[in-house]
Structure 1
Amino acid sequence: MKRIVLLLAAVFVATLILTPNTVFSQENNYQLKPEKSKIEWLGKKVTGEHSGTIFMKQGNLTFDADQLLGGSFVVDMTTIVNTDIEDETYRAKLEGHLKSDDFFGVDKFQESKFKITSAEKLADGKFKVIGNLTIKGITEIAELMVNVHKHGKMLHVNGKMIIDRTKYNVRYGSGSFFDNLGDKTIYDEFQLDLDLNFE
């Protein structure tokens, strides 16, 4: 009997030594709170800029202690709105154009997605995140910097992503593909500012 107990103890110790990451894993899964999260977008052209918001349907992040392991997000493209134009008619016209096939083709592509493939922990809650971004059915590698801070049970994430829209077949008004646009040129890159809350 004593020999069996010693044998079991030895197996347990060996398991601890050989697989420490599994035995002591502290994985935590956080779910996005869409009603407490938003994304602000900014697009620029030669003659100015426009800004607005867009919202997420769902998302999650997985941590092992304070290391970000992965996560994924689904953006509701039907929620694109403009916030800088006061005239209702002009604002509705711009929103309709952004949702049209000239830009994001929302009737056909109602969702955009981002899936984390790797995350490098930096200082002071900062992470360099790399993942697969899918817009209009086209997937490209994207990178962003985020700040992660915990407040009780809540996890707050903010960051900025710069996206080259032409990689996703959004080429309307792009000087990279069309000549002689003059002051109608719309810059290829647009910016997303993330303000996300998880629990």
Structure 2
Amino acid sequence: MKNLKSIALAFVALVSFASTAQTAKKVDVSKSTINWVGKKVTGAHEGTIALKEGALIFKGKKVVGGNFTVDMTTINTTDLDGKGKANLDGHLKSDDFFGVEKFPTATLVFKSIGEKGNGVYAVTADLTIKGKTESIKFDLTVAGNTATTTLKVDRTKYDIKYGSGSFFSDLGDKTIYDDFDLTVKLAI
């Protein structure tokens, strides 16, 4: 009888532990995409950037965490070609913008998550670009083996002020808006 009670207690403890265990699911970076759009007074440019690594952390079927590293050296303009593309890609990688020689990666680390229902989560995360970390909020939608989000990032919070009307006057039609948009699709 004593052995039966011990076995029953061990089973209950195991089930309790299993229900509270967290699982990290690595993101398939080869099937994941990050698209960006940067706008200026006279139009916009768009492109891609590659995810280096990342994982979503689950407790059961619910997202409870995440961390991601972006390879900033892969900044790629997709709406231009030839010399214009080469010039913009080079400028975005320069110290005027992302300074990828000194800061080859950017990171995003989830800090808190609130469940909104139907696979949608309200996420507060720390975004680090050019060595500066700022809090950012966004919604993350998880459906099957895919997670998607859109983020609006204020580049000036990361000391990227080139062409910003918030910091420089008389830029006229050369003004570049402070926010850029990211559309992210993660394969998990």
Letter in 1 for 2:147: V
Q: Once the 2 structures are TM-superposed, how far is the Cα of residue 9 of structure 1 from its aligned partner? A: 7.0
| Correspondence for 1:37 among 32, 40, 45 | 32
Aligned to 2:30, the other structure's residue is in SS state helix
RMSD: 2.0
Take 1:9 and 1:101, find their aligned partners in 2: how far apart are those partners?
Answer: 63
Take 2:165 and 2:180, find their aligned partners in 1: how far apart are those partners?
Answer: 14
Q: Once the 2 structures are TM-superposed, how far is the Cα of residue 96 of structure 1 from its aligned partner? A: 0.3
Map 1:20-169 onto structure 2 (within 5 A).
Answer: 22=17, 24-86=19-81, 88-150=82-144, 155-169=145-159
Larger Rg: 1
Letter in 2 for 1:146: L
- How many residue pairs end up in the alignment? 187
Take 1:21 and 1:183, find their aligned partners in 2: how far apart are those partners?
Answer: 62
Contact residue 164 and residue 175 of structure 2 kept, 8 A = yes
Report Cα offsets for 1:23-75 as digits up to 9, x if no partner: 52253321011110110000000000000000111001111122211110000
Name stretches of at least 5 consecutive residues in structure 1 with no aligned partner: none
Take 2:155 and 2:16, find their aligned partners in 1: how far apart are those partners?
Answer: 40
| Correspondence for 2:182 among 156, 180, 192 | 192
Distance 1:183 1:59, change over 3 A: same
Report Cα offsets for 1:65-123 as digits up to 9, x if no partner: 2221111000000000000113x101100000000000000110000000011111112
Aligned to 1:40, the other structure's residue is in SS state strand
| TM-score of the aligned structures, taking structure 1 as reference length | 0.87
| TM-score of the aligned structures, taking structure 2 as reference length | 0.92
Take 1:21 and 1:49, find their aligned partners in 2: how far apart are those partners?
Answer: 52
- 1:181 maps to 171
Name stretches of at least 5 consecutive residues in structure 2 with no aligned partner: none
Take 1:142 and 1:31, find their aligned partners in 2: how far apart are those partners?
Answer: 22
Q: Once the 2 structures are TM-superposed, how far is the Cα of residue 145 of structure 1 from its aligned partner? A: 1.1
Q: Between the two proteins, what is the percent identity of the paired residues?
A: 43
Q: Once the 2 structures are TM-superposed, how far is the Cα of residue 22 of structure 1 from its aligned partner? A: 3.7
Take 1:22 and 1:137, find their aligned partners in 2: how far apart are those partners?
Answer: 38
